[in-house]
Amino acid sequence: MKFLLMLALLFLSVAASALQAAPAPTPRPRGFLFFRPAPKATPPPRLVTPPKRLSSPTPPPRPTPVPTPMVALPNYNEETSTRLQIFLDNRNFGPGKIDGEMGEFFRKALLSYKRANNLPTTGAVDASFLAEVPVAYTNYVIPPEAVNFVGPLSSRPSEQAQMKALRYGSLLELVCERFHAAEAFVRKLNPGANLDQLQPGDIVRVPNVKPFEIEHLREGFMPDNPELAGRKIVIDTHERFLEIHEGDKLIAEFPITPGSRTLPAPIGTWKILGIATLPWFRHDEGVLNAGVKTDNFYNLPAGPNNPVGVLWMGLNKPHVGVHGTNNPETIGRAASHGCIRLANWDAARVKDLVTKQNVVEIF
């Protein structure tokens, strides 16, 4: 009997140990019997595309200033220098006022002409240049109608506004501007002549250049010329030249005065809004000194001695334009009020080389 009791206790002990070693039962999931709910699917990660950054439009490339190379010019005599200046002027590469001297603007015009015509940019001059101007000087007989372009002058805007026109102050001034010449040079060509008392019928020796004929100008606006729509004006304020381009071709160049330190020419890309010949001028000290219109102004009549000369080419920049001058001796040297100033004889040619809506690049 004891043996059987001990055997039963041993069996119970082994069974208990086995139960302790067995794994714990898996808890039954909640819900219907025999149904195990599927685990919730983890949503795939969302691919977030970063918003596109809107890049600002790339501005059109602007011309890079190319300094005119300093080249040695031959020591031509006065007559040969005059013939070369006339050659360049007749080809619309303005050397500045004709004075028989090998100066800065002559050098720039010569090199620009050579560059435009794929010639070596040296100071040497092809004989064909001189062949086009075999005679340096000619005689100009002052016609009777010339006196119609001469009248009283004043430096006071209040008095200018009372005049019918701002004409030449003398026949000598008319002669000099007509033949693109410095007054001192005309005096030199006419020793002993009383040029300050010229009269119709008098004969004056002048450079043999294509004359600027103010009698052909009329007060008004130039019509659009679709044939010139692809042209562009490039204004180099460093070299002080206005260039006219047609595609990749440089077709003309003229010396300028480009603004001042106080009111510099506006750097950027503009367009021509209109071209007026023999314009009137609104003399407003606020605009001239600060670019701001005021109620204190004078309307100055047309004429070669108008402050903007014989031409106003307005840009889509308020109060800024390309224009002529009443003092061609100062072109390239004296400052202007933020505008681009040309000699009247050059301004009169520019109007025929461009048209409304042409691009004007100032740099």
What pLDDT, on a 0 to 100 scale, did the predictor assign at position 31? 33
Range of the domain at 244: 217-363
Q: How many CB atoms are located within 10 Å of the residue 203 CB?
A: 12
150 bridge partner residues: 168
CATH number of the domain that 275 lies in? 2.40.440.10
What pLDDT, on a 0 to 100 scale, did the predictor assign at position 256? 96
What pLDDT, on a 0 to 100 scale, did the predictor assign at position 264? 87
Residues 91-103 pLDDT 10s = 999 999 999 998 8
Q: Is residue 96 part of a domain?
A: no
Instruction: Quickly tell me which residue has 């070299």 as its tokens.
Output: 239
Give the C-alpha separation, 49 to 43, whole Å: 18
Q: Is residue 104 part of a domain?
A: no
**Is there a contact between 106 and 81 (Cβ–Cβ < 8 Å)?**
yes
Residues 222-244 pLDDT 10s = 999 999 999 999 999 999 999 99
Q: Would you place residue 44 in the very low, low, confident or very high pLDDT band (cuts 50, 70, 90)?
A: very low
Tally the domains of the chain: 1
Q: Is residue 105 part of a domain?
A: no
Q: Is residue 354 part of a domain?
A: yes
What pLDDT, on a 0 to 100 scale, did the predictor assign at position 63? 58
Q: Is residue 14 part of a domain?
A: no
Range among 74-78, 121-125, 319-323 rated most confident: 319-323
Q: Is residue 58 part of a domain?
A: no
Cα-based torsion angle of the residue sequence 179, 185, 189, 194 in order, rounded to the nearest 10 degrees: 90
Residue 35: pLDDT above 50? Answer: no
Share of the chain above pLDDT 70, in %: 78
Residues 168-198 pLDDT 10s = 999 999 999 999 999 999 999 999 999 999 9
Give the global pTM.
0.79
What pLDDT, on a 0 to 100 scale, did the predictor assign at position 330? 84
Q: Is residue 351 part of a domain?
A: yes
Least confident of 6-20, 77-91, 284-298: 6-20
255 bridge partner residues: 241
Residue 39: pLDDT above 70? Answer: no
Q: Is residue 311 part of a domain?
A: yes
